[in-house]
């Protein structure tokens, strides 16, 4: 099987889904030839830089503006969509050499722009190759809708209904979910994992996936979370955000130093010999003003915390955890679902992340965290309530689609055979 996967680097989820699908196909058929193409970079490095750079700038600095553009593009007849149509029709022919050279048996897209471009090319030169489009979020967007798609992969039955309401044929829509690496579906040896990481298996564990939070945001939320009186430990993964890692590392070191100094002072105070006091005449007692607690001045709230930079073992840390604090990106959400891990969602970007958050909270697979003092309360009520966490896990199990990549692989084989029969 020769598989061409068209993706893009606007956000990490599109490429990750492509790589997860590739990994699965090769595990079942090592003789398959699979190529993953960064579609925008292939047709126009300048366009790729503008789109990916613009995306990063907007979501970090102007999230409301990004949300407005996203929602505007979700309508069939808008300036944004017309611009996308013009751009894809202009650049579609630059994609043709890739198809001519690679000669795929099937094309899979994990990005809306890639799907739009390849279907525009098909309408222009009418090639006989099946095309699958994987929607990498938990809500359908107009940008994914295209006449030339043979099969749509979506994450829920609600998305099937939404897609049908937008004019798509129900038989072309498959609620298989977003493909993730196989490790997320398989339990781990928890005892060995906790021992190797120097953590306590008997203590609840909160995982913070923090790479896209921003330095100030993640420190604030961590500080609020660890003020909870409930015992737990924390794993923080900063991804390739070097500034965040270094700042967080410095922050944790200061907490450790302050706590160590305070413990030392208390120890020395307790061990200091007391001089005998000569008996004196009773004096009239004077009211004594309470001194401020040294703990409130010097001691910062802390929980056992393991800080990690980029790691390819996210599945292990998810399986070790009882709760994940994260932004609701499509990939991280799907990995959490595959790991049966309840979610606490923080700072959803207006647009697809906000839609993802609404869906997850509505299905009791996640709760929302706010920046204010309710953050501490929410974590305390959740991590200290095993019944509530188990309810959320049950909701996740009932929603989980099982192995998405396996179902997509079978569908790919079916579509290839269908096209051969038509030839």
Asked if the structure places residue 199 within a domain, the reply is yes
Based on the fold, state whether residues 126 and 235 are members of the same structural domain.
no
Average of per-residue pLDDT across 314-335 = 93
* CA–CA distance, 342 with 336 (Å, rounded to integer): 7
168 & 311 share domain = no
Note whether 414 and 346 are same-domain residues. no
pLDDT surpassing 90 at residue 151: yes
Answer yes or no: is pLDDT of 212 > 70: no
pTM for the full model?
0.83
Domain shared by 19 and 63, yes or no: yes
Same domain, yes or no: 53 and 109: yes
Q: Given the DSSP bridges, would you call strands 2-7 and 33-38 parallel, antiparallel or unpaired? A: parallel
What pLDDT was estimated at residue 400? 82
Region of residue 274 (left: phi > 0; alpha: psi -120 to 50; beta: else): beta
Same domain for 167 and 188?
Answer: no
Instruction: Assess if residue 292 is contained within a domain.
Output: no
Report strand pairing: 173-174 vs 33-38.
Answer: unpaired
CATH number of the domain residue 331 falls in: 3.40.50.2000
Mark whether 124 and 210 lie in a shared domain: no
Question: What integer pLDDT is reported at residue 18 of this predicted model?
Answer: 95
> Is 253 inside a domain boundary?
yes
| Residue 282 counted as domain residue | no
Going across the sheet that includes 343-346, the strands are 305-308, 233-237, 205-209, 323-326, 343-346, 366-369
In a domain, 283, yes or no: no
Kindly indicate the confidence band of residue 86, based on its pLDDT and cuts at 50, 70 and 90: confident
Sequence-separated (6 or more) residues with CB below 8 Å from residue 135: 141, 144, 152, 153, 154, 155, 159, 178
User: How much of the chain, in percent, has pLDDT values that exceed 70?
Assistant: 86
Q: Is residue 279 part of a domain?
A: no
Please indicate, yes or no, whether residues 364 and 413 belong to a single structural domain of this protein.
Answer: no
Mean per-residue pLDDT, 293-298: 37
Is 293 contained in some domain?
Answer: no
- Collapsing DSSP states into helix, strand and coil, what is residue 70? helix
Domain total of the chain: 2
Same domain as 363, residue 217: yes
Residue 21 and residue 123 in one domain? yes
Structural domain that includes position 189: 183-266+298-399
Q: What is the pLDDT of residue 290?
A: 39
Among 22-36, 231-245, 292-306, name the most confident range.
Answer: 22-36
In a domain, 34, yes or no: yes
Nearest-5° Cα angle at 398, 368 to 205: 50
Contact call for residues 141 and 118 (beta carbons, < 8 A): no
Query: Using CA atoms in the order 235, 240, 241, 242, what is the torsion angle rounded to 10 degrees?
Result: 100
How far is Cα 10 from Cα 5, in angstroms, rounded to an integer?
Answer: 15
Q: Quick check: 132 and 411 in contact, CB under 8 A?
A: yes
Q: Extract the tokens encoding 342.
A: 């309840």
Residue 396 has pLDDT above 90, yes or no: yes
pLDDT higher than 80, residue 286: no
């Amino acid at each position: 099987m020769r598989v061409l996967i068209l993706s893009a680097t606007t956000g990490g989820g599109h490429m990750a889904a492509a790589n997860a699908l590739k990994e699965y196909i090769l595990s079942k058929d090592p003789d398959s030839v699979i190529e993953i193409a960064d579609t925008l970079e292939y047709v126009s490095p300048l366009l790729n830089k503008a789109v990916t750079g613009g995306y990063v700038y907007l979501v970090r600095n102007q999230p409301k503006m990004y949300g407005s553009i996203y929602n505007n593009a979700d309508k069939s007849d808008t300036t944004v969509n017309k611009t996308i149509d013009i751009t894809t029709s202009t650049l579609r022919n630059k994609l043709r050499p890739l198809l001519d050279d690679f000669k795929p048996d099937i094309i899979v897209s994990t990005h809306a722009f890639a799907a739009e471009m390849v279907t525009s090319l098909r309408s222009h030169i009418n090639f006989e190759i099946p095309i699958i489009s994987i929607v990498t979020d938990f809500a359908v967007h107009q940008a994914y809708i295209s006449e030339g798609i043979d099969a749509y992969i979506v994450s829920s039955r609600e998305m099937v209904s939404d897609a049908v309401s937008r004019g798509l044929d129900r038989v072309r829509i498959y609620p298989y979910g977003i493909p993730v690496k196989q490790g997320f579906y398989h339990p781990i040896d928890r005892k060995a994992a906790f021992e190797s990481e120097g953590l306590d298996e008997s203590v609840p564990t909160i995982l913070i996936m923090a790479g896209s939070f921003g330095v100030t945001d993640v420190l604030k939320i961590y500080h609020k979370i660890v003020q909870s009186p409930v015992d737990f430990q924390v794993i923080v993964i900063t991804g390739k955000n070097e500034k965040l890692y270094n700042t967080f590392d410095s922050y944790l070191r200061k907490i450790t130093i302050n706590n160590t100094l305070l413990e030392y002072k208390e120890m020395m105070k307790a061990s200091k010999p007391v001089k005998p006091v000569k008996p004196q005449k009773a004096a009239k007692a004077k009211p004594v003003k309470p001194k401020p607690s040294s703990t409130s001045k010097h001691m910062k709230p802390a929980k056992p915390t393991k800080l990690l930079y980029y790691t390819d073992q996210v599945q292990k840390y998810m399986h070790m955890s009882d709760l994940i604090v994260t932004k609701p990106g499509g990939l991280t959400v799907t990995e959490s679902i595959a790991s049966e891990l309840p979610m606490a969602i923080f700072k959803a970007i207006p647009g697809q992340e906000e839609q993802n958050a609404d869906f997850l909270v509505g299905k009791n697979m996640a709760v929302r965290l706010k920046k204010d003092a309710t953050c501490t309360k929410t974590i305390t009520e959740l991590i200290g309530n095993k019944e509530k966490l188990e309810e959320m896990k049950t909701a996740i199990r009932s929603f989980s689609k099982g192995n998405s990549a396996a179902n997509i692989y079978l569908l790919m084989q079916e579509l290839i055979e269908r096209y051969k029969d038509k030839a």
